[in-house]
Structure 1
Amino acid sequence: MVTLKLRQLEVPPGQSLLLNDVSWSTLEAILDELGERRSSRIAYDRGRLEVMTPLPEHEYFKETLSDAVKDIAEELDINYESYGSTTWRREVKQAGLEPDNCFYFQNEALVRGKLNFDLNQDPPPDLALEIDITSKSLDRFPIYARLGVPELWYYDSGALKIYHLQNTDYVLAKRSLVFPLLAVQTLPQLIESHRSSGRLAVRRAIRQWVREQLEQQK
């Protein structure tokens, strides 16, 4: 039974709590108990539930890379929808998680302005961001795969890797499906070189970088 003790439980920043033998109905009750306004994030994989609280460093790169995706899309005049750390779940797949951010591009027109989702009917996000500053107990790749997310951007230790879903596994890719003309793996270096100048400088640099990349390809 879920009690108020769960809500009162504090997971320190950078730490995680792993619960085993959690049924789907218990997961739903836990999500209701935790509520929407919380700093913790969850991941669920076939009875195993992880609750983690991110560090400031995690949140910085989550926000900065999210801004980069939006700035690139706007420079390329590509419409998109962003749904942050929405809780995505499919009971039939026994999978659920909250990405650091997620976006619709290819399927944007199908979800434009949509506020409620059912992955049994709606397409999953086209792109998800996963920031790995601290080690997590659950491997999120199989969860994303069962949810059907086509592309992951995985940031860890200053490196950004792009993965594409092929059948039931993710494979490392050289180019993004969303932005195939750009070498988005270089974004962390671009961010780091302007980080001390502030977020506005970072965003301006990324937009300028996009314009330069496009000009070189003409």
Structure 2
Amino acid sequence: MTTQLNLETNSTGEQIIVFPGCYNWQQFKTIQSIINEQSTAKISYLDGQIDLMTTGEEYERIKTILGFLIELYLCEKDIDYLPVGSATREAEIKGASFQPHESYYLDKTRENPDLAIEVIFTSGGINKLEKYKRFEVTEVWFWQNNQLSIYYLHHGEYEQVNNSVLLPELDIDLLIKCVNLPSRPQAKKMFMEGIE
């Protein structure tokens, strides 16, 4: 059997390789173990499809500043949280395995994080909301094209919302503006002035 791979590369050097939906869980786990030993690429699985993604400096910059500002906000507002970064979420019974780019528990009694963040530079690949839905992640934020899209899980389906339901007082426009600033100290200063 011949498998047609799809390769997408963006202007910042990130690549995503899509293996079409023909792999069972055991095959995925074998590929995952090889990838984890040989590479830092992120690997995701959904219903037989495997995605491999490499990241570059711009991805890391956005992911890091977003996480930094969110944690500043949570600390400043005395909101207890547990950051779990890109810890792998996977279950054969759910037919999914993935690593959020950043993730947080706001309610530590939950089985999976409340908030997850994805930084997207390439468009192809796995249906990103579907994998989060299977793990009942309450809110998913997508950073793409210097903007933030927020999805809230309501009655088992994601709805796009203008503001965070989990963090209703967070000024999303301010967060976006600060993430897009070239200077981290400047971003921190503007953000702190805006949330006081």
TM-score of the aligned structures, taking structure 2 as reference length: 0.86
Match of 1:205 among 183, 186, 190: 190
Q: How far did residue 181 of structure 1 move?
A: 1.3
Q: Structure 1: which 4+ aligned runs deviate by more than 4 Å? A: none
Aligned residues: 185
Q: How far did residue 176 of structure 1 move?
A: 1.1
Q: How far did residue 177 of structure 1 move?
A: 2.5
* Percent of aligned pairs with the same amino acid: 25
Aligned runs of 1:1-218 on 2, under 5 Å?
13-20=13-20, 21-35=22-36, 38-105=39-106, 107-108=107-108, 110=109, 123-192=111-180, 194-195=181-182, 198-211=183-196
Q: How far did residue 35 of structure 1 move?
A: 2.4
Q: Is the 8 A contact 1:89 1:95 kept in 2?
A: yes
Partner amino acid, structure 2, of 1:147: F
2:3 is aligned to none
TM-score of the aligned structures, taking structure 1 as reference length: 0.77
The separation in 2 between residues aligned to 1:133 and 1:186, in whole angstroms, is 22
Partner amino acid, structure 2, of 1:204: K
* Cα shift readout 1:19-65 (whole Å, capped 9, x = no counterpart): 23121112222222222784311221100010011232111111111
Aligned-pair RMSD on alpha carbons? Answer: 2.0
The separation in 1 between residues aligned to 2:88 and 2:179, in whole angstroms, is 28
The separation in 2 between residues aligned to 1:168 and 1:47, in whole angstroms, is 22
Query: Any stretches of 5+ residues in structure 1 without a counterpart?
Result: 1-10, 111-121, 212-218
Partner amino acid, structure 2, of 1:209: G
